[in-house]
Structure formats: C-alpha cells, structure tokens
C-alpha cells in the first residue's frame, strides 16, 4: 500500500513525489515505462564521455524566483544564455530575427534604413509576431516581413508541424517573434542557466535519497493496474490514453534524434543552428555549449520532426489547433468527474507545450492547492 501512485518520472511526477514525501511524510511509488527517470530532460554520458540530452536540448530559463529557489535545492547552476542562428542563403544570422540579423541579411545602407523604419513604427525592445508584422505593415516593412516569413519562418514551421503557419494557434507563431533589439539571446528571462552536473543528477537528488519514494522503471501503468494498492493516483501521461481514447486520440508531433560525435573541440559557432530551408531536419545543437563540459571531442544532436504514431514513437508537441483543444476539453470533463481520486498534471496530461519552468510551477501549484490541503 502506498499513499500516492504516480505515473511518470518526469518533472511533474518527481516534483510532486518530492513534495508529498518531504512535506507530508507520505509514501509514493513512481512507475515509469522508460528505463530511466527524468522524462524528456534525461541526460547521460555517451561512449565518448560527453554529456548528451537524449531527447533533444533542454535549456532552462525562467522569470519565477519560486521555481529557481525550489530547483536550487537539488542542483548548482552554470550560467548559460542560449543563442540560435538560422542558416539563410548561406549565412548564419541570429534568430529570433533582430536588428543584428537585419545588418547581416541586407547591404548596410538598406539595413540602416529598415532599422529606422522598425524603430519608428514599433520602438526599441518590442517583439512582434511575424504574422502580425505581415498583416499590419505596408511598403518596405511589408517586404521585410515577407522576407523574414519566407526565409526563416515558413519552411521551418512546415517541417516542424507539417502545417501552414496560419493553421496553427497564434501562441505558436508568437513564440518566435521579430525582436526590435540588438539582443542576440534566444530568451530574455531573468534567470538562465543549466544544472551544473546535468538534469539526471538533479532528479537523483530530488527523489533518489528519500526513503518514502520508490521508483519502478520499465513499468507500464497499464500492466500493473489492480496489482498495487494506493489511496490516490497522479497521472502525468497522455490524458487520452488514460481514458482509453474514448473520444479519439489527441494529435501530437514527434521527433527523431541523431547524435553525432566529431573529433574536434567545437563543430559549430553557437549552441543551435536552425535550417529552415535546407535538409529534412530542423536544427542541430552542439551540447558542449549548453553543458559547459570541457572535452576534446564534441557531440551534436540533430532533430527530425515526424508524425506521432501511438505505440511506435513518443508524443512531444501537442498540436495547437482549435479543434484539438475542443477534443481535449472532452477529456477534461471526464477528469473532473474523478478528481477526488485522480490528479492529472504535466505536458501530456494537460495537453500543453510547457517550458520546464512551467512544468515545475504547475506541479508546485497542484501540490499547494490540491494535495497539501487534504
């Protein structure tokens, strides 16, 4: 008998287990179908001794002091500010597209003229979604918007989602705006950093030494139903799977990763380079930039978007469209009817694309508002 059976050993499941065990002194069992804890943030040392993010780059950034304070119990931090370049017409230019990108993409006189127009229309430091810029401008700025849309945004979006940009919710297209600034950082959050010894070590410190937390790896929840007694269930997996897809499957995009190691200190000039218009992958990330590891070799992770097929690959990105959100709302109503016995929490359970800090904040909120009050 355990107090809480928790399905999934990613951020949501581990944060909730740690809080329940530490604050309430109650026993938790985490079941995880993969062979490791950490969910998609799991990292490991490959055969060359290079720290690799198995499921693609995970870069921590947040404006929440509460989340930083909580996670800092389990890790020290290396400062890291992520910078991304996009390969456009043979040049690597900063993205989100900014005033520095402008100077690299156009002759000096034209770039200065366009910069002046952008500043006059929008002001320094503003961020404008590219679709809004296309619709709200005319003349030279409209031409600029079309250049950015065609060269940086359109084909990357189609590769990533297999959809046209205007078929996606505005929240997606707003994630990579045009930034009227000379700031080349991909994120502008107050806190940006990486766990000094990796994410897996962070998770080990979070749950590994607590005698009230047990973990069963290589264990599918569907295979152990009825064999474990518990008082309450926390489910961080796909909400539609929990309800046996009774309203239909929620659609996702998946990814395939290739990890390549090279006999050189560094392979590329920054952490991530996007390839909007060439190749069938979207981006290549050199992990040593992220981890600050010193090593004579280097490893890059290459990301290939692909359709999600239940049972064949992993669901990574909920596809944000109105009809998908409507389908999700049907599962929410089902979840509300069993809220006394089951708590749904996490990216797959909430059918939302969360950043890591948002996942942690959501789990802390669930603990404080639904669990710690019981």
- Position 106 scores a pLDDT of 96
Q: Are 58 and 116 contained in the same domain?
A: no
The residue count for the chain = 374
Contact criterion met (CB below 8 Å) for 359 and 12? yes
User: Distance between CA atoms of 4 and 29, rounded to whole angstroms?
Assistant: 6
CATH of the domain at 44: 3.40.50.720
Domain limits at 347? 2-79+192-250+314-371
Best CA proximity match to 83, nearest among 108, 101, 71, 65: 101
**How many other CB atoms are there within 10 angstroms of residue 63's CB atom?**
12
- Mean pLDDT over each residue of the chain, to the nearest integer: 96
Best CA proximity match to 274, nearest among 56, 57, 84, 53: 84
Tell me: pLDDT of 209 over 80: yes
Tell me: pLDDT of 374 over 70: no
User: Distance between CA atoms of 339 and 333, rounded to whole angstroms?
Assistant: 10
Mean pLDDT value across residues 297-314: 97
- Concatenate the DSSP letters of all residues of 248-278 into one string: -PPPEEEEEEEEEEESSS-SSSSSEEE-SSS
User: Distance between CA atoms of 25 and 14, rounded to whole angstroms?
Assistant: 15
314 pLDDT band (50/70/90 cuts)?
very high
User: Distance between CA atoms of 269 and 92, rounded to whole angstroms?
Assistant: 9
Q: What is the per-residue pLDDT across 120-165, written as a single tens digit (0 to 9) for each?
A: 999 999 999 988 888 888 899 999 999 999 999 999 999 999 998 8
Tell me: pLDDT of 172 over 80: no
User: Distance between CA atoms of 81 and 58, rounded to whole angstroms?
Assistant: 12
Residue with tokens 């045009």: 178
User: Distance between CA atoms of 265 and 146, rounded to whole angstroms?
Assistant: 38
Q: Which of 135, 158, 179 is the last residue of a domain?
A: 179
Q: pTM of the entire structure?
A: 0.95
Mean pLDDT value across residues 64-82: 98
Residue with tokens 């600050």: 292
- Of 124-128, 171-175, 205-209, 351-355, least confident by mean pLDDT is 171-175
Tell me: pLDDT of 173 over 80: no
Q: Are 91 and 172 contained in the same domain?
A: yes
Q: Are 150 and 168 contained in the same domain?
A: yes
Residue 287 lies in a domain: no
Query: What is the bridge-based pairing of β-strands 77-79 and 191-195?
Result: antiparallel
Residue 158 lies in a domain: yes
Q: By three-state DSSP, how is residue 65 classified?
A: helix
Q: Are 200 and 168 contained in the same domain?
A: no
Q: Are 175 and 212 contained in the same domain?
A: no
Tell me: pLDDT of 174 over 80: no
Q: Which of 179, 203, 226 is the last residue of a domain?
A: 179
Q: Are 44 and 98 contained in the same domain?
A: no
- Position 137 scores a pLDDT of 80
Q: Are 163 and 208 contained in the same domain?
A: no
Q: Are 74 and 41 contained in the same domain?
A: yes
Residue 261 lies in a domain: no
Q: Are 88 and 146 contained in the same domain?
A: yes
Q: How many domains does the chain have?
A: 2
Residue 51 lies in a domain: yes
Residue 126 lies in a domain: yes
Q: Are 58 and 22 contained in the same domain?
A: yes
In sequence order, the β-bridge partners of residue 311 are none
């Amino acid at each position: 008998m355990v107090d809480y059976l928790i399905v999934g050993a990613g951020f949501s499941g581990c944060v909730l287990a740690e809080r329940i065990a530490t604050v309430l002194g109650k026993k938790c069992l985490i079941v995880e179908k993969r062979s490791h804890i950490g969910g998609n943030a799991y990292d490991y040392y490959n055969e060359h001794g290079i720290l690799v993010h198995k499921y693609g780059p995970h870069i921590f950034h947040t404006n929440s002091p509460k989340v930083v304070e909580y996670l800092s119990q389990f890790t020290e931090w290396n400062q890291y500010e992520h910078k991304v370049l996009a390969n456009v017409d043979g040049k690597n230019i900063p993205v989100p597209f900014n005033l520095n990108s402008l100077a690299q993409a156009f002759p000096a006189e034209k770039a200065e003229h366009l910069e002046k127009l952008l500043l006059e229309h929008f002001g320094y430091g503003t961020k404008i979604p590219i679709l809004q810029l296309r619709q709200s401008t005319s003349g030279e700025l409209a031409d600029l918007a079309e250049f950015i849309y065609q060269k940086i945004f359109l084909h990357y979006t189609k590769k990533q989602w297999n959809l046209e940009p205007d078929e996606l919710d505005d929240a997606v297209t707003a994630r990579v705006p045009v930034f009227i600034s000379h700031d080349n950082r991909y994120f502008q959050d107050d806190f940006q950093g990486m766990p000094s010894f990796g994410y897996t070590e962070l998770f080990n410190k979070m749950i590994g030494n607590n005698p009230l937390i047990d973990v069963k790896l290589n264990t599918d929840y569907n295979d152990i139903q009825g064999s474990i007694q518990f008082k309450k269930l926390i489910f961080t997996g796909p909400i539609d799977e929990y309800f046996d897809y009774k309203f239909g499957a929620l659609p996702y995009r998946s990814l395939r990763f290739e990890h390549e190691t090279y006999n050189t200190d560094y392979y590329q000039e920054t952490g991530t380079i996007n390839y909007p218009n060439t190749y069938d992958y979207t981006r290549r990330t050199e992990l040593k930039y992220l981890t600050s590891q010193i090593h004579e070799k280097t490893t890059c992770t290459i990301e290939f978007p692909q359709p999600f097929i239940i049972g064949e690959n992993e669901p990574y990105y909920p596809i944000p469209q109105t009809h998908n959100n409507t389908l999700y709302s049907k599962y929410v109503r089902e979840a509300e009817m069993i809220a006394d016995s089951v708590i749904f929490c996490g990216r797959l359970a909430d059918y939302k694309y969360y950043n890591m800090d948002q996942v942690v904040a959501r789990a802390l909120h669930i603990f404080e508002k639904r669990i710690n009050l019981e």
